[in-house]
């Protein structure tokens, strides 16, 4: 009986000690973040020893590409283990972000196409500066000749196409004749509004009549509009 007890005590201590030694000898597998950090450190050391600035620039560019690839790989591995509900929400969020990015790019491109500069607060609707691509169109060269910012609406639709055009700034709006237009003519005009000394003011653009027959000789009609607001009575 005493021998059995001694044997059991010895077994517990022996197996426990082996387990502790095995646990102490185990190495923690490197996480993607740890691996990326080690790779970055090694690449930085390699780039620092580049013989010329040109070679260092090439090395740093290669480093950026490699680190980007490691980050994508780590992100992909993390996504494989995430719950289905999280994956669904992630896809929804990414789709929303892509739509928002496309919308912001469209507005930035609209400002560039309008030609306005030095007016950081201006907003231009993409529909007001669409390329004509040879279709019949009216092109309005606009100058804000007022001491206040103005807003411009398209009369045909009632939609705001410009907000916050700064005093003294110029831009170009392009209205393409709709291909679904009934009849042979289409009228284009705009209305500008602003506030002078706390009072509302307004100005109307020249009206342009576009015709489908213009495509045969002159697709674009150029209109100059120097906006001078008039106080409303």
Q: Is residue 10 part of a domain?
A: no
Q: Is residue 5 part of a domain?
A: no
Q: Report yes or no on 98 lying in a domain.
A: no
pLDDT band at 44; cut points 50, 70, 90: low
Last residue of a domain, one of 87, 109, 131: 87
- Do residue 47 and residue 135 come from a single domain? no
Residue 209, both tokens: 């009549």
Which stretch of 9-23, 32-46, 111-125, 148-162 has the lowest confidence by average pLDDT?
9-23
Q: 182 versus 98: which is more confidently predicted?
A: 98
Note whether 83 and 127 are same-domain residues.
no
133: which DSSP letter? T
Q: Alpha-carbon distance 143 to 165, whole Å?
A: 9
111 within domain boundaries? no
Same domain, 144 and 222: yes
Give me the domain span that covers residue 157.
Answer: 123-231
Has residue 112 been placed in a domain?
no
Return the percentage of the chain with pLDDT > 70, whole number.
78
Is 18 part of any domain?
no
Same domain, 170 and 80: no
Size (the chain), residues: 233
Q: Which pLDDT band, with edges at 50, 70 and 90, does 215 fall under? A: low
Answer yes or no: do 127 and 224 share one domain.
yes
Greater confidence, 195 or 131? Answer: 195
CATH number of the domain enclosing 152: 2.60.40
129 and 38 in a single domain? The answer is no
Please check whether residues 83 and 170 belong to one and the same domain: no
Q: Let me know whether 134 and 193 are in one domain.
A: yes
| CA separation for the pair 204, 152 (Å, rounded) | 10
Closest to 113 in 3D by CA, of 98, 131, 132 = 131
Number of domain units in the chain: 2
Decide which of 41, 64, 87 is a domain's last residue.
Answer: 87
Pick the residue with more confidence: 32 or 129? 129
Both 83 and 132 in one domain: the answer is no
Does 17 reside within a domain? no
| Mean per-residue pLDDT, 180-206 | 90
Residues 131 and 225 in one domain: yes
Query: How do residues 65-100 score in pLDDT, each as one tens digit?
Result: 888 877 877 777 777 777 888 878 888 888 999 999
Evaluate if residue 150 carries a pLDDT over 80.
yes
Listed residues 87, 114, 132: the one ending a domain: 87
Strand partners, 139: 174, 222
Confidence of residue 4 (pLDDT cuts 50, 70, 90): very low
Quick one: 82 and 131 in the same domain? no
Among 194, 114, 111, smallest CA distance to 146 is for 194
């Amino acid at each position: 009986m005493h021998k059995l007890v001694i044997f059991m005590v010895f077994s517990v201590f022996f197996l426990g000690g082996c387990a502790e030694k095995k646990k102490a000898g185990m190495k923690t597998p490197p996480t993607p973040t740890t691996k990326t950090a080690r790779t970055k450190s090694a690449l930085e050391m390699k780039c620092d020893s580049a013989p010329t600035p040109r070679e260092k620039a090439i090395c740093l560019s290669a480093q950026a590409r490699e680190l980007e690839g490691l980050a994508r790989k780590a992100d992909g591995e993390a996504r494989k283990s995430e719950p289905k509900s999280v994956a669904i929400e992630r896809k929804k969020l990414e789709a929303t972000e892509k739509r928002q990015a496309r919308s912001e790019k469209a507005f930035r491109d609209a400002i560039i196409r309008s030609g306005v500069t030095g007016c950081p607060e201006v907003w231009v609707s993409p529909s007001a500066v669409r390329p004509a691509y040879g279709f019949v169109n009216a092109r309005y060269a606009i100058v804000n000749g007022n001491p206040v910012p103005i807003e411009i609406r398209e009369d045909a639709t009632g939609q705001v196409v410009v907000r916050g055009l700064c005093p003294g700034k110029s831009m170009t709006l392009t209205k393409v004749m709709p291909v679904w237009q009934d009849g042979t003519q289409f009228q284009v005009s705009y209305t500008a509004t602003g506030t002078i000394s706390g009072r509302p003011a307004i100005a109307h653009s020249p009206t342009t009549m576009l015709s489908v027959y213009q495509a045969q000789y002159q697709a674009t009609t150029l209109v100059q509009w120097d906006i001078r607001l008039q106080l409303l009575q």
